[in-house]
Amino acid sequence: MAIVTLRGTEFETVGELPPKGSPAPDFRLTGADLNEIKMVDFSGQRIVLNIFPSLDTSPCALSVKRFDELAGELENTAVLCVSADLPFAQARFCGAEGLGNVVTGSTFRSSFGEDYGAMFRNGPLAGLLSRSVVVIDTDGRVIHTQQVSETTDEPDYEAVIAVL
C-alpha cells in the first residue's frame, strides 16, 4: 500500500505501483467505443499510462491535455489516459477539448486499479485511481513510475520525457 494525500489528508492505495524493471501487469480497459483495450494492442510501442481519479477535476483534465500535446511529439509511444470515468465521458471530454493524440481507457469492468496498485482504498476517493504515471518500454517492462504524493498536483511531465 502507498500513502498519498488529498489536500494534506493521508489516504491509502490498495497496493503499490509495479516496480521499475518489472514486467508491466497486463491490463484490460474499456475504450470510448466500448471495445476492450489490452496491453497487447500496443505491442512494439512504448506506453505511457497517465492514471488519475476523474476528468471532472482540474488537475486531471490538465494532465490529459498536456499528455495529448506530448503524445503528438513522441515517436513509437502510445499515451493511454486511464480513469474510472465512463467511456462516454472520456470521449465527450476529448471531443470537446479537440484531443486526438491520447487513447482513453476506463476501468469500468476492469481490475486495473488493483493490478497496478493505484486504486484508493479509503477516503472520499475510495474506488477511484490515485494520480500516477507508469511508463512501459517496447519489451513490456516498467521503466518509470510516479505516484503523485498530493492528489491535487500534476505529474512530473519532464521525468516522463526524460525516460523516453
Dump pLDDT digits (tens) for 115-129.
999 999 999 999 999
Domain that holds residue 19: 3-163
Domain total of the chain:
1
Record the pTM.
0.96
Residues with a catalytic annotation lie at 60
Dump pLDDT digits (tens) for 31-76.
999 999 999 999 999 999 999 999 999 899 999 999 999 999 999 9
CA 139 to chain centre: 19
Residue 80: is its pLDDT beyond 90?
A: yes
The CATH number of the domain where 142 resides is what?
A: 3.40.30.10
Please enumerate in sequence order all residues whose Cβ is within 8 A of that of 87, keeping only pairs 6 or more positions apart, or say none.
30, 31, 32, 33, 34, 104, 106, 108
